[in-house]
Structure 1
Amino acid sequence: MTTTTENQGGGSPSSSTAFMGRAFFSLRRGAQVVSMEQGQEQDLDLFQSHVADRLLALMPAHGSGGEAYPLLSLAFLSKLLDALLSCDEEFRSLLGRNHTCLLAKSPADRAVNDLLDRAVKSLDVCNAVTLALHSLRHWHRHALIAASALLPAHPGEGPLNRARRALAKLFASCPNSPFAASARTEGSGSSGRSASSHMRALSSTVSRNWSSSRPMPPVPAHLATPRGGEAGGAGMALAVYAMSSALAFTMWALAAAVPSQDRGSGASSSPVSPRQHLPWAGAMLGLQDRITEESRRRRSAAGLLAEMQGVERCGRELMEAVGESGPPQSPSEDMAARAAELAEACRRLDEGLGPLERQVREVFHRMVRSRAEVLRCVEQSTRAAAVLPNPPLVS
């Protein structure tokens, strides 16, 4: 009698235990999925915060002595490239921490295509900037010759004529770009062959479509901010968008500061218009606005790079002091002082050129490797999405 009562209203103890076990593992699996998705979202949000921190660090500090360094200077471009390389390193690390599967989800898939396209265009910009920086050394040499000839307190007729010829070559190179005339003058000699071999080396790892002989390519404008999409895909899309925006902004600033021989100086329209709720939007928009303002304010034959403009200004002052021919227009002491200022401007320019050339080269090769890594992750993500179904929803 007792046994009959205990068995009423249920199955065997083993079947009840099996049901409870399945429910437990289903809930546990669901909790693991939710925990993983929350961890992914935190990583993606943290990446965007780090992009914001690096952009904010680029804003020149104001103090009693003015700005620590001006925008569109060699120091600014060096910090900008460092920030880009740091963002790229963290982005690639992000892909390696169980985030690859999100690349196939919408709208991350569209954002990735845009990043891959911009990576290709950045290679052309790096090639053109490297060629421009190499040519800038010949422009700088004319200024240095003029300064060296007039540094003695009482230069004779020979040093005066040598300085005048060097200054004439310096300013003959200035219209539209400081590189055009010097590139034509030096292109037939050993320095031209050196530049050509250097650029071939820079492009040796990529296809012929990324040729360094092409002029500075236009930086594509106005990235579209991702909207909506699948769970996880939206967060990854915003992270990819942040990386694309950092890359587009860097190439835009480089192209503005270092004009190529096919166009004059000046910054084109801002390439990124992010939505205000993004952590890095304020810093990005602030930097773009200030660079655009500097571009309008600094209109000059020598371009927007601060050190180039310093050489141009000191060179013009020295040319006014020596005159075009005959006796100098200013006393010897005044000429020597202006020559010393030009020599100092040349020193500042020369000090920053080598490091920047190396950084541009590093960015070039890093973008080649990063693009290959993203393509590999996209292929892996696509295969995983095709094979593995979505995990069941747990109510």
Structure 2
Amino acid sequence: MSSADNHSPSPQISSFGRSKNRLRQEQVHSLEENHRSSTRDSELESFQKQVTDRFEELFRVSDDELLSIDWIQKLLNAFICCHEQFRAILLNNKEQLSNSPLDRSISEFFERLVKALDICNASRNGIEKVRVWLKHLEIVLCALGSNQRALSEGQVLRARKALMDLAVAMLDEKDCGSVFPQRNRSFGRHNTNKDHRRHFTALSRSHSWSVSRSWSAAKQLHSIASNLVPPRGNEIVATNGLAIPVYTMNSVLLFVLWALVAAIPCQDRGLNIQMSVPRQFSWGVPVTSLHDRIKKRERRSSNGLLKEINQVESCVRNMTELVDSVQFPLTDEQKMEVKERLKELSLVCGALRDGLDPLERQVREVFRKIMTCRAEGLDYTS
């Protein structure tokens, strides 16, 4: 026998070596899978906790703070934070997004995002409408507060005209038309002032995001809410739990859009959307409780339930009653009432001046986040 034959490995030894290597590879693969699974579970749990914490904080506010500009900004900030964490989950699991049944729920989510963009546009439209109201309020404030020594009849007439213009501007859109529903329409159908027509036509041209005249916020919300059902147990297992954050983000999106439509003047507003969340979702309690609290205010205003809008409407009523009843020369009691009403009006104008710009910036930020998420998601699934 040659020396080469003496040193060649036996078939049994070679087979054992291959089996050992295969076992080692399987162990490494199993460890990697366990690590990925553990990381994913931790990620999903963290996401659910953030959503719960954010909405519990939003729920804890008093009735007076609820639906204020400050509260809406906190709501939008909560959406942005939850949305960013959800985007990270999609990125970390992008290889699974095209697998059934996750592909269908992801596709439906992206369709809802497209519809959400319309509501963001309508909300920015509504904020612009409130800015127009503010201009009329500032005219009233200037007219009645410009002469500290004595209030003249001319000042009262100027304030009365501004209040009448404001009343027309605040009519429900079905009665007098939206401020910017179409680019070729100017503010106020009966306004014959050429300067006003040019001003508002220019404004409407600068806002290409305005929705069409036939668009309906109520119908859009119903479309977003349709077929939004919790994932079944087999879907959760088949998607390695990813069906849960997709359902959660869909629900958060629906509530935030619904709250925006509730608070801000939107074309064909309607709040008849049900929020029903199974008990196993910890964030369901604060979300449904907030929904119920807001629904109780539904009939308070046709323009919007925003706290500052309610204050505007109250100031307009009080100031209109005052200028309609004032007689010259003014009594000391009337002078005192004018002073009190002007103080109220000044506070409302200040709140709108300080709050509308940051609110619009945040709505724009939500718009951009949604656009980015959808573009990324389409890349992942393609």
Instruction: Report the TM range for the smaller structure's normalisation.
Output: 0.7 to 0.9
In structure 2, give the amino acid aligned to 1:259.
P
Matched residue pairs, number?
350
In structure 2, give the amino acid aligned to 1:376.
D
Matched, 1:359 2:355: no
Q: Residues 3-14 of structure 1: matches in 2 within 5 Å?
A: 12-14=12-14
TM-score (norm 1): 0.80
Aligned residue number for residue 226 of structure 1: 231
Aligned residue number for residue 243 of structure 1: 249
Instruction: Supply the distance in 2 between the matched residues of 1:75 and 1:37 (Cα, whole angstroms).
Output: 39
Q: Quick check: 2:143–2:156 contact (8 Å CA) kept in 1?
A: yes
Q: Quick check: 1:219–1:248 contact (8 Å CA) kept in 2?
A: yes
Distance change in 2, residues 1:349/1:167 (3 Å) = same
Aligned residue number for residue 83 of structure 1: 78
- 1:103-162 deviations in Å (ceiling 9; x for gaps): 233432222122111101011111111112112211121122112222235310110101
Q: Quick check: 1:60–1:71 contact (8 Å CA) kept in 2?
A: no
Aligned residue number for residue 196 of structure 1: 205
Q: Quick check: 1:58–1:79 contact (8 Å CA) kept in 2?
A: yes
Aligned residue number for residue 22 of structure 2: 22
Q: Quick check: 2:76–2:256 contact (8 Å CA) kept in 1?
A: yes
Aligned residue number for residue 4 of structure 1: none
In structure 2, give the amino acid aligned to 1:316.
R
Q: Quick check: 1:149–1:160 contact (8 Å CA) kept in 2?
A: yes
- 1:166-212 deviations in Å (ceiling 9; x for gaps): 11222223332599568232883223322331x22x58xxxxxxx56
Instruction: Supply the distance in 1 between the matched residues of 2:235 and 2:304 (Cα, whole angstroms).
Output: 43
Distance change in 2, residues 1:333/1:274 (3 Å) = same
TM-score (norm 2): 0.83
Instruction: Supply the distance in 2 between the matched residues of 1:237 and 1:182 (Cα, whole angstroms).
Output: 40
Q: Residues 319-330 of structure 1: matches in 2 within 5 Å?
A: 319-323=320-324, 327=328
In structure 1, give the amino acid aligned to 2:67.
L
Aligned residue number for residue 309 of structure 1: 310
Shift of 1:214: 5.2
Instruction: Supply the distance in 2 between the matched residues of 1:283 and 1:232 (Cα, whole angstroms).
Output: 29
Q: Quick check: 1:267–1:295 contact (8 Å CA) kept in 2?
A: yes
Shift of 1:23: 2.1
In structure 1, give the amino acid aligned to 2:160.
R
Instruction: Supply the distance in 2 between the matched residues of 1:372 and 1:170 (Cα, whole angstroms).
Output: 41
SS of the residue corresponding to residue 296 of structure 2 reads helix
Instruction: Supply the distance in 2 between the matched residues of 1:282 and 1:182 (Cα, whole angstroms).
Output: 36
Q: Residues 95-110 of structure 1: matches in 2 within 5 Å?
A: 95-97=90-92, 99-110=93-104
Aligned residue number for residue 267 of structure 1: 271
Shift of 1:326: 5.2
Aligned residue number for residue 286 of structure 2: 283
Q: Quick check: 2:101–2:238 contact (8 Å CA) kept in 1?
A: no
What is the CA RMSD across the aligned residues, in angstroms? 2.7
SS of the residue corresponding to residue 57 of structure 1 reads helix
Matched, 1:50 2:50: yes
Aligned residue number for residue 334 of structure 2: 331
Distance change in 2, residues 1:240/1:343 (3 Å) = same
Q: Which shows bigger deviation, 50-59 or 369-378?
A: 50-59
Q: Residues 40-189 of structure 1: matches in 2 within 5 Å?
A: 40-62=40-62, 70-97=65-92, 99-151=93-145, 152=148, 154-176=150-172, 180=176, 183=179, 184-185=187-188, 188-189=197-198
In structure 2, give the amino acid aligned to 1:44.
L
Instruction: Supply the distance in 2 between the matched residues of 1:324 and 1:369 (Cα, whole angstroms).
Output: 55
Is there any run of 5+ residues in structure 2 with no aligned partner, and where? 1-9, 180-186
Instruction: Supply the distance in 1 between the matched residues of 2:28 and 2:370 (Cα, whole angstroms).
Output: 41
Q: Quick check: 1:148–1:343 contact (8 Å CA) kept in 2?
A: no
In structure 1, give the amino acid aligned to 2:48.
Q
Is there any run of 5+ residues in structure 1 with no aligned partner, and where? 1-9, 204-210, 380-395
Q: Quick check: 1:174–1:301 contact (8 Å CA) kept in 2?
A: no
Aligned residue number for residue 182 of structure 2: none
Instruction: Supply the distance in 2 between the matched residues of 1:274 and 1:362 (Cα, whole angstroms).
Output: 27
